[in-house]
Amino acid sequence: MADNRTFTMIKPDAVENGHIGGILDQITASGFRIVAMKLTHMTKRDAETFYAVHNERPFFGELVEFMTRGPIVAAILEKDNAVEDFRTLIGATNPEDAAEGTIRKKYATSIGENAVHGSDSDENAQIEGAFHFAGREMF
């Protein structure tokens, strides 16, 4: 994946609460182009693999449980400086610390159930996009 791309998920809490449209609207209004997207449901194994970097953390079990409890929207987004700009758009991990107007400030309910994921580096954007999408699904 090119360096001007990032990977995102609208997490199960935001899907359950009917925020897919509001979040996608804010993403595209902020200048990101959707180059891949689907509604999907991660298996326990998918979530354990996707978040493997956190497998020693105390919240790992809860995180896997949360991410597998319902469908998510997975997407690849394109924009100059995509990774950094998208992290700014979503805000801090904990919505209490997130800046006003950010997606997590508006839609997250806790540090765990925080509405959206955004890759933290170009390298991870590449890995995470390829985890969810085949080459023919990226446009």
Q: For the segment 66-95, give every residue that binds ligand UDP (CB under 6 A).
A: 93
Q: Per CB under 6 A, does 120 bind ligand UDP? A: yes
Report whether 23 contacts 10 (CB < 8 A).
yes
Sign for the pseudo-dihedral over CA of 24, 37, 132, 61:
positive
Q: Where are the alpha helices (DSSP H) in the chain?
A: 12-16, 20-29, 44-50, 60-67, 82-90, 103-107, 122-132
58 exposure class (CB count in 10 Å sphere: 0-12, 13-18, 19+): exposed
Pick the stretch among 32-40, 42-50, 55-63, 95-103 that binds ligand UDP (CB under 6 A).
Answer: 55-63
Report whether 19 contacts 107 (CB < 8 A).
yes
> Which of 1, 63, 76, 125 is in the footprint of ligand UDP by CB under 6 A?
63
Q: Per CB under 6 A, does 112 bind ligand UDP? A: yes
Q: Per CB under 6 A, does 114 bind ligand UDP? A: yes
Place of tokens 């999408």: 133
Pick the stretch among 2-10, 21-29, 77-85, 112-120 that binds ligand UDP (CB under 6 A).
Answer: 112-120
Tell me if residue 117 is catalytic.
yes
Tell me the closest approach of the beta carbon of residue 139 to ligand UDP, in angstroms: 26
Catalytic residues: 117
Which residues contact ligand UDP by CB under 6 A?
Answer: 59, 62-63, 93, 111-112, 114, 117, 120
